[in-house]
Amino acid sequence: MAVDAAVINDPETYVRAVPHDLLDHLREGAAVVRVQDFWAVLRHAEVRQVLRNPRLFSSNLGGTQIRDPATPEDLRYVRRMMLNMDPPDHPRLRGLLTRAFTPRAVARLTDRITEWADDLVAAVQPDGHADLARQLADLPLLTLAEVFGVPDRDRRLMFDWSSRVIGFQDPEYAVIDTVDAAGVTDLARAALAVRPKPGPDGRMPDPRTRQGMPDLYAYATALGEHKRAEPGDDVMSDLMRHVDDDGGRVSIEEFENLFWLFSVAGNETLRNGIPGGLIALMSHPAEYRRLLADRSLLPTAVDEMLRWWTPVMHFRRTATADTTLSGVDIRAGDKVVVWFSSANRDPRVFPDPHRFDVGRTPNDHLTFGHGPHFCLGAQLARAQMTAVFTAVLDRLGEIRPAGEPVRLRSNFQNGVKSLPVTW
């Protein structure tokens, strides 16, 4: 059968669904396939192989997005982010951040997450109808605000920033503006004053450049300076007060880039993973009822939701030297893109991979990545998912679709903009 592999890179494809039939077909044919100007790595073992070898498959050389930065300055900008770093810069900054997430800080966050999740579900309208994608979107924002010590009334800024960055391929999210300037802090109002406006063509400037997100950086700079001068009882204050063995500290520029990373990656994965998990349950009512009857399955159910939905669908690396991967010759400078949506349905690792099984174990999914860039927020992500689904099971019982989900137009984030349900 003739197939057009370029379909997997077309954001319009994902408005309908992740093209699992096509991914299955491509993956069975080869572990590595050519798609437009990059190599797509589709099997679980080869994805792991790429991710654990940063010397050969670099995050820094060309960044981690398929689309090349438009200018050399844009490339220098993305290279300063931890997501796009290689050794030795990456382990240094990651190590500092890991030490800031002290057991006490994580325990406090987990307790708060449980309270917030229950409050959000309890606040759902009592008439048996809700849009849970929108009504539960505050949980990752509350968590991130706690991590950074951001005032509650400013947290909606992070919703807009992450929407603009992740949703740049979606006409609605690219220009989203949901913040009421009258209800935020002076710090936020100063940031909103430099928020870019759509151009004559109706488009915003590229949000994956510093010039495209001046409001985010204005806020992050002021917040970082405040944390250094007056540290509070939050994770980022711990980070900003830390001095390493060589007398080094996290710079304001590094704080800015961490703020960007957490505001975007820390928000979007959960913002889409939660409704994705709800869709998984509603699509498999027998498994939903199995979980309702046996709450001890919740930890495995959460990991199965993350595997089955896979919020982040791919990441790019760039080959630093000529090499061979699964019999395919790859040249230095080639883009190598690991496709998590495919690897998480690889039958070599997951028996009956398209079956949603709340008791699946083992479950070696790659939703949080693998190797040196394994997601720092995995523990908090699982805590948020567990808290939300505990509250949904306890308070709402079995929910059912009340209309079609509205999906994000994106080839990167498996996103849900709206999820109408009834119960």
Q: What is the CATH number of the domain that holds 160?
A: 1.10.630.10
Give the tens place of pLDDT for each residue, 38-77. 999 999 999 999 999 999 999 999 999 999 999 999 999 8
How far apart CA 166 and CA 417 sit, in angstroms, is: 12
The answer on pLDDT for 247 being more than 80 is no
- Which one is predicted more confidently, 106 or 132? 132
User: Would you say residue 318 has pLDDT above 60?
Assistant: yes
Give yes or no for residue 342 having a pLDDT over 60. Answer: yes
The pLDDT of residue 244 is above 80: no
Q: Mean pLDDT over all residues of the chain?
A: 94
For 107-122, what is the mean pLDDT?
Answer: 94
The mean pLDDT value for 361-384 works out to: 95
Q: Compute the average pLDDT of residues 303-318.
A: 98
Residue 362 preceded by cis peptide, ω within 30: yes
Helices (H) and strands (E) in the chain, counts: 19, 12
- pLDDT, residue 268, reads 86
| Total structural domains within the chain | 1
Sign for the CA dihedral angle at 89, 95, 97, 100 comes to negative
Of the listed ranges 165-169, 191-195, 239-243, the least confidently predicted one is 239-243
pLDDT at 1: 43
**Averaged over 381-409, what is the pLDDT?**
97
With b meaning 16 or more CB within 10 Å and e meaning fewer, what string describes 267-293? bbbbbbbbbbbbbbbbebeebbeebee
Long-range contacts (CB closer than 8 Å, 24 or more residues apart) made by 212-218: 212/164, 213/161, 213/164, 213/165, 213/260, 215/157, 215/161, 215/191, 216/157, 216/161, 216/191, 216/259, 216/260, 216/263, 217/256, 217/260, 218/190, 218/191, 218/194
To 10 degrees, what angle do helices 252-261 and 89-100 make?
Answer: 80
Residue 131 structural domain:
5-422
- Average confidence (pLDDT) over 15-28: 97
Q: How far apart are CA 384 and CA 193, in angstroms?
A: 33
Q: What is the value of pTM for the model shown?
A: 0.94
